[in-house]
Amino acid sequence: MFSKYRILIFSENPDELMKFYRDVLELKLEDKLDIPNDYGYMFEVNGEMKLWIGRHSEVKGKSKEPVRHIINLYTDEVQKWYKKVKASGADILCKPELTPFATRDEPFYVSTFLDPEGNCWQFMGQLGK
């Protein structure tokens, strides 16, 4: 059985990319690692869920296939987070809308966006206020 997991996103310039996760998504910066051959930032998403934004010599520019991997963030405030991400200038692929599996009794929304380097994320959950 697995005990924890990490999401790793590599970048040509993690110093810039990390600002989106810290300032827009308001993730808690836990650590900065700067040793030979390994450099980047560790964020707490929720408890044991961590996000690593690190430098990689083979990564250049934006993601060439943004929706190959989509990472979901579950929230009770999809609308709030959509507005915050949109205001940051991020590319919005899907405004908040009901998911195909939503019901009248259990509405469930999705909003899809790209971070500044084209990595795809979705807010999933209740619309909120």
Residues of the chain with CATH 3.10.180.10: 1-59, 62-129
**What residue ranges of the chain have pLDDT lower than 50?**
none
Q: What is the pLDDT of residue 38?
A: 83
> Can you name the CATH fold of 62-129?
2,3-Dihydroxybiphenyl 1,2-Dioxygenase; domain 1 (3.10.180)
**CATH says 1-59 is which class?**
alpha beta
Among 71, 70, 127, 68, CA closest to 97: 127
Q: What is the pLDDT of residue 1?
A: 81
Tell me if 17 sits within 8 A of 59, measured CB to CB: no
Q: What is the pLDDT of residue 124?
A: 98
The tokens describing 98, both together, are 């009901």
Q: What is the pLDDT of residue 45?
A: 95
